[in-house]
Amino acid sequence: MIELHDPATFAAGIPHDLFAAMRAADGLTWTDAAPGDSKGFWSVTRHSDVVEVSRDTTTYSSAVGHIQIYDIDEDALDARASMIDLDPPIHTRLRRLVSSAFTPRHVQQYEVSIRQRVRRCLDELEAAGGGDWVKMVAAPIPIGVICDLMGVPEEDHDFMIELSDHLVAGTSNEPLDPNAYGNTTELRLLPFNSPAAFGMSEYARRLADQRRDEPADDLITKLIEAEVDGERLSDEEFANFFRLMIFAGNETTRSSMAHLAMHLDQFPDQFELVGENPDLLGSLADEVIRYSSAILYFRRTVTQPTQLGGTELAAGDKVVMWYAGANFDESVFDDPRAFRADRSQVPAHVAFGGGGAHFCLGASLARLELSILIEEILKRELRFDVGEPEFVPSNFVNGIEHLPVTVL
């Protein structure tokens, strides 16, 4: 059996050969249920199939079962529901509350503050002659940016990183302390079954109370004042929103930035190419995002009998879209395992999802952050001696926990 629910399969990064074999096989690939889970799942690894599933929210639901491989109970689904695990039309109404803050034009206004953050981190790394790239560069930039946008004060950014890390730990096999962060909720009711989700909700509630007393020009204030169908968000809905934004805005971009340092080490000619042709900056940023595929998969649940990639599916079947597989589909990408700064953007990679209602809300922001980081690295002509990466033990995120670098 293919152990796709086992984090160990991803211990050294994306299992490219495994995904290539799955893409080449007829139909979708079946994996039996993991111990403790009720049902096995179908794996979707071809680009066209990922796009088809992503764009059909009627046949492939995000609200049924769970968006991760293991099923959870109805009460647990209700307790954690945020826009990412809801279907239209309620998904559409929630997304509309924040979508205007993430348009390409709107995120451009953060350019100056992002650049300041990037420069500060690179200054410190250079002054120290190197260090842990994740701790010094890849982690603080995205959390700083998303916290600024939300309105989380600078002194709490490290706490948000810590909570985010603990959330991801819930996707590994590591045992978690159920009482951490003062948690009083059953773990099965919490996102990633992690007590850090409780910690983040409590923090969100406190911040919301502060903003009710003192409104500010930030997303938190916008969310507590927003109305959906004539009603304000409940405390729980607000906390779920907050958690999704912090986690999604932080963990993913951090992973791509961590991989970027490895790409710089492995493919220096591609970075030199952009130094000579700055017009390629955007496509290099997207190549980093494709190549790192920070989110390995999301799952949908089939709502009606259908056919996908040559396989008959029944209502209730789990369908797991392996973005990390589809992004290396040789029928779509020329020489997919090559890292190319000038790779065509048509068709698009699916690291942000295959399009449709749930397409990554923060795609423009993530692209901007990565472009600025690459630009500043090139300006300084920075080169590193890169040590061994320590991967996050997870089958859900392609994260790097630590990456030692020495500035050359």
Does residue 219 touch ligand HEM according to CB under 6 A?
no
Q: Contact at 8 Å (CB) between 390 and 400?
A: yes
Distance in Å, CB of 73 to ligand HEM, minimum? 21
- For residue 386, list its beta bridge partners: 405
DSSP 295: B
Contacts (CB under 6 A) with ligand HEM, residues 43-62: 54
What is the radius of gyration, based on Cα positions, of the chain? 21
Does residue 144 touch ligand HEM according to CB under 6 A?
no
> How far is the CA of 45 from the CAs of 15, 78, 80, 338, in angstroms?
12, 29, 28, 18
Does residue 284 touch ligand HEM according to CB under 6 A?
no
Single residue of 170, 325, 362, 389 touching ligand HEM by CB under 6 A = 362
Single residue of 15, 140, 249, 309 touching ligand HEM by CB under 6 A = 249
- For residue 31, list its beta bridge partners: 41
Q: Contact at 8 Å (CB) between 17 and 324?
A: no
Does residue 90 touch ligand HEM according to CB under 6 A?
no
Does residue 171 touch ligand HEM according to CB under 6 A?
no
- CB atoms under 10 Å from CB of 387, counted, come to 15
Cα angle, residue 272 at apex, residues 269 and 273 outer, rounded to 5°: 90
DSSP 356: S
Single residue of 97, 289, 296, 302 touching ligand HEM by CB under 6 A = 289
Distance CA 49, CA 364 (A): 24
Residues binding ligand HEM: what is the number (CB under 6 A)?
Answer: 27
Among the listed ranges 210-218, 261-269, 325-333, 359-367, the one in contact with ligand HEM (CB under 6 A) is: 359-367
Strands 311-313 and 318-322, bridge-based pairing: unpaired
Does residue 199 touch ligand HEM according to CB under 6 A?
no
- For residue 306, list its beta bridge partners: 313
- What is the sign, positive or negative, of the torsion defined by CA atoms of 277, 278, 279, 284? positive
Strands 60-61 and 297-302, bridge-based pairing: antiparallel
Distance in Å, CB of 184 to ligand HEM, minimum? 27
Single residue of 60, 133, 192, 298 touching ligand HEM by CB under 6 A = 298
In the bound state, the residue with its beta carbon closest to ligand HEM is 362
Distance in Å, CB of 19 to ligand HEM, minimum? 16
DSSP 35: T
* Of 46 and 183, CB closest to ligand HEM: 46
Does residue 83 touch ligand HEM according to CB under 6 A?
yes
Single residue of 141, 296, 348, 366 touching ligand HEM by CB under 6 A = 366
Single residue of 6, 13, 56, 95 touching ligand HEM by CB under 6 A = 95
- For residue 131, list its beta bridge partners: 405
Distance in Å, CB of 228 to ligand HEM, minimum? 14
Task: Give the residues lining the site for ligand HEM (CB under 6 A).
Answer: 54, 83-84, 95, 146, 244-245, 248-249, 252-253, 256, 289, 294-295, 298, 323, 351-353, 358-362, 365-366
